[in-house]
Amino acid sequence: MISVDLSTLYRCLKAMFSPSWRSKKRIVFGTLAFLAISAIYLINVFTRFLDEILFPGYRSIRIRAPLIISANPRSGTTFLHRLISLDEERFASFKLRHVLLSSISMTRLMDFLAPVDRSLGGPLKRLIDRAFEKGFVRWEGIHKVGFNEPEEDEALFFFLYASPAMYGVYPYFREVPSMRFADSLTERKRRALVRYYRSSVKRFLYTQGRGRTFLLKSVLLSGRVKIMHEVFPDVNMVYLVRSPYDVLPSFASMFTSFWKKHSPDIAEDSELTREWIRLGVDYYKHFHNNRHLFSDSHLTVFKYEQLVSNPREVVESIYRQLDIPLSSEFVSRLEQEVQKQREYKSTHDYSLKRYGVCREWVYQNLREIFETYGLKS
């Protein structure tokens, strides 16, 4: 059974109908989200049960020394992940479809339907693509979302009400604090997440990655770094560090974009919006305070500026750390992708002032981060 945090779900729905939060838009949006999440949850429960009958061999899959790229959001993880995932012979990465529908049975079904859909002119693909374009239109130019696009693992936790991304749907930080940090859940719930996540990765590797190394990028991993270390005790971690002055307002902008649909009454310069800033601060601290979980040989740290100025050098450094040779085919793909990045110019600009936060407050709260990683204050 996939274990939903029912107490958190109850608090979300209770807050949505409470006098202080009740509004037509929030109730409609929250109810539709609940129904959609519940439908996907039930599909996953049923098809993962089928896996136990049809594909029991997945249990014997061994997850050997996966590579995880992590950071606070907007720190270059997507770019670095895209570069390393070009080494398709060596690494296997989630696509969104694998984390939305996380069973072997659904993967097999989708693999069967894809050529059939193409032979008919792709009507199903167009329908799905249109749905994602409309649903994530506010992330255009920030983070590309698509059913068959590379994606992180957040949906696996989102559908269990164990992800801070859920605050984008239910903005009840104070009423439902349990979604901030999965590491802070009870031991029973944490163990359930460990079993569920490990099982999900095994199912993915069973169909997509036999003989390859599991590659993951996750920008909200800092809130569950202890859980992930339990799942992957031999993990190789790449941690990207970018100045909090740049990350925090971008973090808030990204995850409050959905509030404009259901909660336009929440001002940008409000205490509630600043909860995202506080969460980002806490994530810097939590990962930093738990970096001892990884030995020096299993944790590599790069500054965002290093990645931007010389991405190939960063990739080559990671391969040296892992003692992996670079194939000529991968180097060629890498060069092509790096050249594309040189031509890319971001049109997004965010400032702390937009959210009523001053640089001094950030520095005082994250002084150790600035000093440890040599960030400009």
The two tokens of residue 250 are: 């971008």
Average pLDDT, the chain: 91
Give how far Cα 34 sits from Cα of 151, 158, 281, 333, Å: 22, 11, 29, 41
Give how far Cα 25 sits from Cα of 10, 28, 30, Å: 19, 5, 8
Segment holding 238, helix H or strand E:
strand 236-241
Instruction: Read off the pLDDT of residues 310-347 as tens digits, 9 standing for 90 and up.
Output: 999 999 999 999 999 999 999 999 999 888 877 666 65
Q: Measured between alpha carbons, how far is 338 from 336 in angstroms, rounded to an integer?
A: 6
CATH class of 6-373: alpha beta
Q: Write the burial class of residue 269 (CB in 10 Å: 0-12 exposed, 13-18 middle, 19+ buried).
A: exposed
Whole-number pLDDT of residue 375: 94
Q: Are 283 and 218 in contact (CB under 8 A)?
A: no
Instruction: Read off the pLDDT of residues 244-266 as tens digits, 9 standing for 90 and up.
Output: 999 999 999 988 988 989 999 99
Instruction: Read off the pLDDT of residues 35-91 as tens digits, 9 standing for 90 and up.
Output: 999 999 999 999 999 999 999 999 999 999 999 999 998 899 999 999 999 998 899
Instruction: Read off the pLDDT of residues 145-197 as tens digits, 9 standing for 90 and up.
Output: 667 888 889 999 999 999 999 999 999 999 999 999 999 999 999 999 999 99
Q: Measured between alpha carbons, how far is 230 from 86 in angstroms, rounded to an integer?
A: 28
Give how far Cα 355 sits from Cα of 246, 271, 320, Å: 13, 9, 41
At residue 352, φ and ψ (nearest 5 deg) are: -65, -35
Which of 250, 287, 306, 301 minimizes the C-alpha distance to 366?
287
The two tokens of residue 32 are: 């539709």
Q: Give 361's pLDDT tier (boundaries 50, 70, 90).
A: very high
**Which residues lie closer than 8 Å to 326 by C-beta, 6 or more apart?**
316, 319
Q: Give 137's pLDDT tier (boundaries 50, 70, 90).
A: very low
